[in-house]
């Protein structure tokens, strides 16, 4: 008689699975998915989640540059005022004038160009730090920073964490203020040698063509790092000394998951400063671009989780002249087709960052179609209107994938010879987990789909090494399921905070100053990057984590200027504006006494 384990418990694995795996413990996919989707994300805000026209605190800049709470007002997408430094206004103006000169432009180009020329590639098979010599190019980058930014390296305390991680401390005069943390990473994804002929300029040339700085890492993320450390160098040249302490952490293996770099840096800071010890954290992430006829900046306040499902199938081998009805590769293929034919249900949840960004589009988008605008506004209290919003927006596969949990079959292996039955076959499926879901729900979704096929094909089915199902007849093979990575969705950064208002006001001030504008010319709405950053190790350090690099996502005429691609590049105009952003952010944060 077939046996399904009813009372087995599984290893903790981050609470990936329920302890009781009886058939009755596995409700229908529709029921379990509905329960998951009905669980709201708790987003901190004033007012009730029962209505989407929420009450938020609006702020103004008083004469002493502190953020003052005013009356609560009702708005779909409340906006902060433009925030410029007050105490250090003359300094800020002088720095801005200097950054507008051609001389500074040349300096900034040289900064990023030189950084790109140092090959700091991260490979998936790198060995331990101190053993694998491929890590050692990071030392060349250290030397480059020391030679290029002498004031930073004379005024700030520098510690090397796990050999290559860089931790700078810019000590402030008021130790009662929480420090702020600025992050970046200086490693890059490798360049495929087969694509070298496709590059307009050699990938590590750092070539400047008059508009763009070309090369691997120019966009991701050496431009962010150079903008951060460059802003500090400029402020030091002008004699600025902070009141608030600023900590700067540069990781060296973000493209490989950050285990050796960001994790070690985070552990060092946690041991020194403790839980929730930083006022806010800024790392790489979103920028700004025109959306529905309005320029909108989208600092990331959330991140999806991620998980790899590892599927391993073993079956008897033999000569291919006498094959069974299904080979291991055939069965594995059926399992993967089962996954792809049953994608995760996707719904837009009220109260999530994505829904709040839609409110910004409805409230401020100059050219948003009236049908979509009305549907977004009506969706506050109407499920039918929310369904209409989904029907419109889910026509864009990119937007739909941003909202829901995704699955991508990325790796498959099996077989060694054309006339030998494959004894083994395995695959890796990568999941990016919606902010409304969890690793546990994602794992259960996969197992729910695989269990019926294990029964159909007569496979012994084990999950994390514990047997879930044993066939009653002849066993045709073994199906093993495990997961790796297992990163839960990130905690949501509240947007009704002084930190979010300060960041929003800084974005607006930078945008205006770079273009010599006045007034409100850019909208700020909550965003979410499509991937994960090094901040996944920093959750315990602050409740206010923003993934944002102030650059114009639509500024380049090069359609292949993005990260991880052939012809990666970054515009000098974006570089100058990003440096200005960090100058403004540091000065604004230094003057605030709201956190």
Q: Is 187 an annotated catalytic residue?
A: yes
| Spatial separation of the C-alpha atoms in residues 159 and 168, rounded to whole Å | 6
Torsion sign, CA atoms 280, 282, 283, 286: positive
Residue 159's Cα: distance from chain center in Å?
26
In DSSP terms, which residues pair with 13 in a beta bridge? none
- Whether 63 and 86 have beta carbons less than 8 Å apart is answered as yes
Q: At what angle do helices 353-364 and 370-378 cross, to 10 degrees?
A: 130
Residue 113 · residue 206 · CB < 8 Å = yes
- In the set 233, 254, 390, 543, the catalytic residue is 254
Please check if 132 is assigned to a binding site.
Answer: no
Rounded Cα gap, residues 432 and 442, in angstroms: 9
- Around 278, how many Cα atoms within 13 Å sit in the side-chain half-sphere? 27
Q: Which of 38, 40, 18 is nearest to 27 (CA)?
A: 18
What is the b/e burial string over 326-349, where b = at least 16 CB atoms within 10 angstroms of the residue's CB? bbbbbbbbebbeebeeeebebbbb
The C-alpha atoms of residue 151 and residue 156 are separated, in whole angstroms, by 8
| 374 in a labelled binding site | no
Of 280, 263, 286, 301, whose CA–CA distance to 167 is shortest? Answer: 263
**Can you tell me the distance from the alpha carbon of 47 to that of 378, in angstroms, rounded to the nearest whole number?**
18
Coil, helix or strand at residue 58: strand
Q: Where are the alpha helices (DSSP H) in 416-530?
A: 439-457, 498-515
Residue with tokens 């890590």: 135
**8 A C-beta contact, residue 99 and residue 231:** no
Under DSSP, the state recorded for 80 is P
Is 255 part of any known ligand binding site? yes
In Å, how far are 65, 88, 261 from 127, measured between CA atoms? Answer: 50, 47, 14
Distance in angstroms (rounded) separating the CA atoms of residues 54 and 46: 7
Per DSSP (E only), the strands in 98-210 are 157-161, 165-170, 180-185
283 is in an annotated binding site: yes
For 208, the token pair is 């400047």
Do you find a cis peptide bond into 186, omega within 30 degrees of 0? no
Is 564 flagged in the annotation as binding?
yes
The residues, any chain, with a CB within 8 Å of residue 394's CB and separated by 6 or more, are 346, 400
Q: What angle do CA 97, 99, 104 make, to 5 degrees?
A: 130
What is the 8-class DSSP label of residue 325? S
Going by their DSSP bridges, the two strands 180-185 and 466-470 should be labelled as: unpaired
The annotation places the binding site for Zn(2+) at 185, 220, 255, 283, 564
The annotation places the binding site at 185, 220, 255, 283, 564
Residues with catalytic annotation? 187, 254
């Amino acid at each position: 008689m077939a046996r399904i384990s009813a009372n087995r418990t599984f290893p903790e694995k981050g609470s990936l699975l329920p302890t009781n795996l009886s058939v009755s413990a596995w409700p229908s996919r529709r029921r379990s998915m509905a329960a998951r989707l009905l669980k709201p994300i708790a987003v901190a805000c004033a007012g009730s989640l029962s209505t989407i026209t929420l009450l938020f605190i609006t702020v103004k800049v008083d004469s002493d540059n502190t953020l003052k709470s005013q009356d609560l007002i009702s708005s779909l997408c409340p906006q902060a005022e433009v925030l410029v430094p007050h105490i250090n206004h003359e300094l800020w103006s002088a720095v801005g004038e200097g950054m507008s000169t051609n001389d500074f432009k040349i300096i900034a180009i040289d900064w990023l160009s030189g950084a790109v020329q140092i090959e700091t590639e991260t490979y998936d098979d790198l060995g331990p730090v101190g053993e694998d010599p491929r890590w050692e190019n990071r030392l060349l980058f250290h030397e480059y920073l020391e030679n290029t930014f002498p004031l930073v390296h004379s005024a700030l305390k520098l510690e090397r964490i796990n050999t290559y991680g860089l931790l700078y401390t810019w000590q402030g005069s008021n130790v009662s203020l929480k420090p702020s943390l600025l992050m970046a990473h200086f490693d890059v994804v490798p360049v495929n040698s087969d694509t070298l002929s496709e590059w307009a300029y050699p990938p590590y040339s750092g070539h400047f063509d008059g508009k763009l700085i070309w090369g691997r890492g120019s966009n991701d993320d050496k431009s962010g790092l150079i903008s951060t450390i460059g802003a500090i160098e400029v402020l030091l040249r002008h004699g600025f000394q902070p009141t608030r302490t600023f900590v700067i952490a540069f990781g060296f293996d973000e493209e490989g998951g950050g285990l050796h770099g960001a994790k070690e840096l985070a552990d060092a800071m946690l041991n020194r400063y403790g839980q929730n010890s930083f006022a806010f954290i800024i790392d790489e992430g979103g920028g700004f671009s025109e959306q529905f006829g309005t320029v909108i900046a989208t600092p990331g306040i959330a991140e999806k989780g991620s998980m790899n499902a590892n599927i391993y199938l073993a079956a008897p081998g033999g000569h291919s002249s006498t094959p069974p009805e299904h080979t291991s590769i055939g069965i594995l293929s059926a399992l993967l087709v089962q996954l792809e034919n049953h994608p995760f249900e996707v719904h837009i949840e009220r109260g999530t960052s994505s829904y709040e960004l839609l409110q910004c589009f409805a409230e401020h988008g100059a050219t948003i179609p009236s049908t979509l605008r009305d549907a977004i506004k009506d969706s506050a209290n109407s499920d039918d209107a929310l369904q209409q919003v989904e029907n419109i927006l889910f026509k864009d596969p990119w937007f739909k994938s941003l909202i829901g949990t995704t699955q991508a079959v990325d790796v498959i292996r099996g077989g060694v010879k054309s006339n030998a039955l494959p004894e083994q076959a395995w695959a890796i499926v990568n999941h990016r987990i919606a902010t409304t879901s969890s690793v546990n729900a994602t794992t259960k979704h996969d197992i729910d789909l695989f269990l019926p096929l294990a029964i159909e094909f007569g496979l012994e089915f084990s999950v994390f090494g514990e047997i879930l199902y044993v066939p009653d007849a002849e066993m045709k093979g073994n199906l093993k399921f495990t997961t790796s990575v297992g990163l839960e969705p990130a905690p949501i950064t509240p947007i009704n905070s002084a930190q979010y208002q300060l960041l929003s006001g800084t974005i607006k001030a930078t945008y205006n100053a770079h273009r010599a504008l006045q007034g409100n010319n850019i909208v700020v709405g909550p965003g979410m990057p499509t991937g994960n950053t090094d901040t996944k190790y920093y959750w315990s350090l602050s409740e206010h984590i923003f993934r944002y690099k102030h650059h114009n996502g639509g500024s380049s005429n090069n359609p292949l200027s993005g990260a991880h691609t052939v012809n990666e590049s970054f515009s000098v105009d974006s570089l100058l504006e990003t440096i200005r952003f960090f100058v403004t952010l540091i000065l604004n944060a230094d003057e605030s006494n709201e956190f």
